[in-house]
Amino acid sequence: MIFKRKKKIDIFGDLPQAPENIETKNREIKKSGRRAMLVPDTPFTDDPAADKLLANTAKQREQWLEILDQSEVREADQEGIAGYLESNYRVQQWWANSIALMYLKWRAGSKSVAVSSRNIRLVFELPTSVGLGYNLLNANSIYGKDLKRTLKSVTDERIVLSFTDETRATILFKKSGDSCEVIVEHEFIANQIMLKYRTKYWNELFAKMIEQVSR
């Protein structure tokens, strides 16, 4: 005699079922990725509107400049900086490139107001022409053992130097009557002790140069 297996009875089958939340079921789960940003339909810009920059990246211009100024990509090109922002700060591509251009423009320009306490700006006057002042300061031998290399030396009276302590100095030249005004902007200085050391370094260097050209 064959016995049929009894059908299992769901003792909870007659209980009312909670309605399925279709909205929750179909809701897309947002994974870790780019911050939600309004992407302008324009080319990248080095001067994004301040209100839009803050609204779309949650940071102001000075904050981004300081972040990049203290980052591992502070000497990188646009592509390297933009990639760093996309990877580390989840910034959308358009904004990452615009911030990179904004930083590069700031990095190349004269910084009359420092973005952070790691920068110094000194102004000297050499009693000589702009051309002679440029030639004197373009000689590597005057900087001592700290000089690592010349990053670039371009035709608009600008010299950029990199030192072994991973700091960088930009030297700008301007005509001032019969003299040459020299602006030194030294960046990426580690602390207040090194700020004093570098300030003393430049003051002593220019004191010797002024004495030399005044003979």
Helix axes 93-108, 78-89, angle to 10 degrees: 130
> Which of the 8 DSSP states describes residue 116?
S
Average pLDDT over residues 97-107: 91
In this prediction, residue 159 has a pLDDT band, given cuts at 50, 70 and 90, of confident
Q: What is the pLDDT of residue 153?
A: 53
Work out the end-to-end distance of the chain between its first and last CA atoms, rounded to an integer number of angstroms. Answer: 127
Average pLDDT over residues 139-160: 72
pTM of this structure: 0.56
Residue 204: name the closest of 119, 122, 112 by CA.
122
What is the distance between the alpha carbons of residues 181 and 150, in angstroms, rounded to a whole number? 21
Average pLDDT over residues 40-49: 91
Domains, the chain: 43-108 (no CATH), 120-213 (3.30.530.20)
Q: What is the pLDDT of residue 121?
A: 87
CB atoms within 10 A of CB 104: 16
Residue 91: name the closest of 130, 48, 151 by CA.
48
SS3 state of residue 182: strand
Averaged confidence pLDDT in the chain:
80
Q: Where are the alpha helices (DSSP H) in 58-191?
A: 61-69, 78-89, 93-108, 130-137
Assess whether pLDDT exceeds 80 at residue 24. no
